[in-house]
């Protein structure tokens, strides 16, 4: 094993030996989920429409962090990882309609203690393979016993149709990793287009009901 790989293996070890390192991302996720649950419930009370269908989250696994550190050529130490990786904490918000995606994003980033670092709108500009979602990198304060840490969280917002496509594309891409059939990419992009049409039609029905 090369010394470079050994260095990166030490990253996973370092993470396991420092439980507080990943814990702050778990706390940040809990804070963000609470914010989203409050927005969901209160918006429903005010407008008789819940803009959030469901929410999921994950803290990146040490092995996945290790892989990304290697791919990115980051220094194998915890401060460099915290600085260099934006998706250590991830929250996925599934919304009924496209308009809800933007409503939730605006309500969340409008909060005083939520700092928007980056916004990637793959709905306005889908990825070439057809992937659509709104990605935000936000930073929120986490109040610990001896300090306040400002922690980055990646928030992915998408509709049910976008999530359906992304989930199945992810599964299929893994399955065919080694030998992708020739028409695979074009077919997936075509299905993404169908999902997009579905969203547009559902959005129109939603608007008709006011």
User: Quick one: tokens of 85?
Assistant: 């990786």
Q: How far is the CB of 61 from ligand 0O2 (least distance, A)?
A: 9
The dihedral sign for the CA sequence 10, 13, 14, 15: positive
Nearest residue (CB) to ligand 0O2, 116 versus 206 = 116
Residue 159 binds ligand 0O2, judged by CB under 6 A: no
Residue 121 binds ligand 0O2, judged by CB under 6 A: no
CA dihedral 45, 51, 53, 58 (to 10 degrees): -110
Nearest residue (CB) to ligand 0O2, 50 versus 169 = 169
What residues are annotated to the active site?
154
User: Quick one: tokens of 191?
Assistant: 């299905």
Q: Name the helix (H) or strand (E) containing 92.
A: strand 89-95
Residue 56 binds ligand 0O2, judged by CB under 6 A: no
Q: How many residues lie near ligand 0O2 (CB under 6 A)?
A: 11
Residue 200 binds ligand 0O2, judged by CB under 6 A: no
Q: How far is the CB of 23 from ligand 0O2 (least distance, A)?
A: 19
Q: How far is the CB of 77 from ligand 0O2 (least distance, A)?
A: 18
Query: Under a CB-based contact definition with an 8 Å cutoff, are residues 117 and 150 in contact?
Result: no
Nearest residue (CB) to ligand 0O2, 17 versus 117 = 117
Crossing angle, helix 98-109 and helix 19-47, to 10 degrees?
A: 120
Q: How far is the CB of 168 from ligand 0O2 (least distance, A)?
A: 8
Q: Hey, which residues does 152 pair with through a beta bridge?
A: 139
Query: Under a CB-based contact definition with an 8 Å cutoff, are residues 127 and 193 in contact?
Result: no
* Chain residues that interact with ligand 0O2, rule: CB under 6 A: 86-87, 90, 120, 127, 129, 131, 135, 166, 169-170
């Amino acid at each position: 094993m090369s010394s470079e790989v050994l260095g990166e293996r030490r990253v996973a070890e370092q993470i396991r030996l420092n439980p507080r390192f990943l814990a702050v991302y778990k706390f940040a996720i809990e804070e963000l989920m609470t914010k989203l649950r409050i927005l969901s419930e209160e918006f429903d009370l005010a407008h008789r429409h819940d803009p959030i269908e469901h929410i999921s989250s994950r803290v990146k696994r040490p092995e996945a962090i290790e892989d990304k550190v290697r791919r990115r050529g980051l220094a194998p130490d915890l401060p460099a990882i915290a600085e260099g990786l934006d998706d250590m904490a991830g929250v996925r918000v599934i919304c009924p309609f496209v308009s809800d995606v933007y409503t939730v994003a605006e309500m969340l980033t409008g909060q005083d203690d939520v700092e928007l670092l980056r916004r990637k709108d793959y709905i306005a500009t889908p990825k070439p393979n057809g992937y659509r979602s709104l990605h935000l990198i936000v930073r929120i304060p986490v109040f610990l016993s001896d300090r306040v840490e400002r922690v980055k969280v990646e928030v992915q917002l998408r509709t049910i149709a976008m999530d359906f496509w992304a989930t199945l594309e992810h599964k299929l891409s893994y399955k065919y990793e080694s030998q992708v059939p020739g028409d695979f990419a074009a077919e997936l992009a075509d299905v993404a287009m169908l999902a997009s049409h579905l969203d547009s039609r559902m959005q129109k029905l939603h608007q008709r009901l006011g």
